[in-house]
Amino acid sequence: MVERAILSQSIVDYAGPPQIGEKWIADTKVRGFGLRVWRRADGSAGKAYCVRASDQFGKLHRRTLDITSLWEWRLATWPSSKQYNRSPSLGRFVQEAREWARDTVDQIKERPTLDDEEKAQLGAYVSSKHKRTLRKMVGVVLRGYAVNGASQSYIDRLDKLFFSHVPLEMIDIPVSSLTEEDITKLTNFNDVSPGNVRFLRPFLGRIFEFDSRLSNTRNLYYRALRIAGNDAEDTDNSGNILSDWQSVEVREFFDFFLVEEKYWQQALCLYFYFSFYKAPLSQVMAARWDQFYELKDRAEGVPNPNSQRNVIWCYREDAFYYESVSRKDLDILLKMRNSSEDPYLFPSQFAKQFNHIKSVDHVWGKALQRFKLSYVSPRQFKIMLSQNFAYKYRHIQGKELI
């Protein structure tokens, strides 16, 4: 028995077995991928994600996914305060299974997998490092600002500041070839006015962020800033311009980002950046839906019907770094998810393929103008908010509601 459908969590979890034998629910997104459902001898249902595909010689191959081998499965069953989900539903991992199936079919047909293509792209990226000069990288960053809605006057100002500050002999040096001495020169802002430093410093940081996969220049840049004392504005707790804010101002500030329509990606990105605790803005901009997991409370294997949904965002794959999601923010996430099939939470409107936004400067400028504040970086603003009682209370409430 064969059925066809776009496999989803509900379809997988509620698929019933036939009276005898088995049935196959073919996924219409990935050819060869499907859900096998069969009747066991004791009358219970068996389910598994499978692949059925023919190789180049017409030989049929069958593969079954060992769901417990998935990193996402191990995370879902990770012990947390002695209460964790011992048996998550199979449907929760349909997207991960679909990705496994896509690679498995490619391997059977001896085609490059997505991982192979990514490695090839990375190889091309590495081989081009000698072409990634400061001049070319500043052009890349400014074009990204333009497509994400930054004003031409803002772009022109950054362009002028960059070329007036960076020594001519460095302009055409590959970013990955810059020495520690070169980077130290770039962090010397003695001849730049304080107002322009607020624009130039994060702009240079963005250029080094782009090069972080090829060299250690990003870390050298931020270390040079600390040594020179040029990051004092971001760490100094004195002069908090938000010290008089009460809960009503904090609420209006967050609501501002929730009502933006034209640039909703940048607005919601800023909303969640201030809502999360430690995740850097670059990680929030690149957040993907497959990085979110729901952990369910269990007591000796019996689900607690009164427990709240506990959703976490694991924003780094190489370690167990995560942020908790409050109930209010979870409602916002669910609305976002229901209105978009993009793999990124904050998709770029201008990318040829799926990609995420690269800047939030346009909406951030609008927010500062709306609340009549002089320029301050989002990071510095977050530090000021963290000293505000109303903002702390918002997080405490969020943690209790999870």
User: Does residue 157 lie in a domain region?
Assistant: yes
pLDDT per residue over 80-98, tens digit each? 434 444 578 899 899 899 9
Co-location of 263 and 355 in the same domain: yes
126 has pLDDT over 50 = yes
Question: Which of the listed residues 64, 94, 124 is the one where a domain comes to its end?
Answer: 124
User: Does residue 241 lie in a domain region?
Assistant: no
Q: At 79, is the pLDDT very low, low, confident or very high (cuts 50, 70, 90)?
A: low
CA 379 to CA 364: how far, in whole Å? Answer: 12
User: Does residue 242 lie in a domain region?
Assistant: no
CA 224 to CA 252: how far, in whole Å? Answer: 37
Domain residue limits at 27: 2-124
116 has pLDDT over 80 = no
On whether the CB atoms of residues 50 and 35 are closer than 8 A, the answer is yes
pLDDT at 238: 40
User: Does residue 17 lie in a domain region?
Assistant: yes
402 has pLDDT over 50 = no
Give the phi and the psi of residue 252 in degrees, each rounded to 5: -65, -35
Highest mean predicted confidence (pLDDT) among 58-72, 121-135, 192-206, 336-350: 58-72
> How many domains, in total, are found in the chain?
3
Co-location of 269 and 384 in the same domain: yes
pLDDT per residue over 199-231, tens digit each? 888 888 888 877 776 678 888 888 888 787 655
Co-location of 364 and 278 in the same domain: yes
pLDDT at 400: 36
Average pLDDT of span 323-347: 86
Q: At 387, is the pLDDT very low, low, confident or very high (cuts 50, 70, 90)?
A: confident
Global confidence as pTM: 0.48
Co-location of 388 and 251 in the same domain: yes
Co-location of 335 and 254 in the same domain: yes
Co-location of 258 and 373 in the same domain: yes
Question: Which of the listed residues 124, 158, 175 is the one where a domain comes to its end?
Answer: 124
Co-location of 117 and 175 in the same domain: no
User: Does residue 181 lie in a domain region?
Assistant: yes
pLDDT at 108: 92
User: Does residue 93 lie in a domain region?
Assistant: yes
pLDDT at 304: 47
User: Does residue 321 lie in a domain region?
Assistant: yes
User: Does residue 240 lie in a domain region?
Assistant: no
CA 214 to CA 208: how far, in whole Å? Answer: 10
DSSP structure string for 172-237: TSBGGG--HHHHHHHT--TTS-HHHHHHHHHHHHHHHHHTTTT-SHHHHHHHHHHHHTTTHHHH--
pLDDT at 298: 47
pLDDT at 381: 87
Co-location of 49 and 185 in the same domain: no
Helix H or strand E encompassing 321: strand 321-325
pLDDT at 84: 46
Co-location of 71 and 141 in the same domain: no
Retrieve residue 385's tokens. 């908010």
DSSP structure string for 16-70: PPPSSSEEEEEESSSTTEEEEEEE-TTS-EEEEEEEEEE-TTS-EEEEE--GGGS
Co-location of 216 and 251 in the same domain: no
Co-location of 253 and 364 in the same domain: yes
Question: Which of the listed residues 61, 93, 124 is the one where a domain comes to its end?
Answer: 124
pLDDT at 97: 93
Co-location of 222 and 275 in the same domain: no
Task: Classify residue 365 by its DSSP letter.
Answer: H
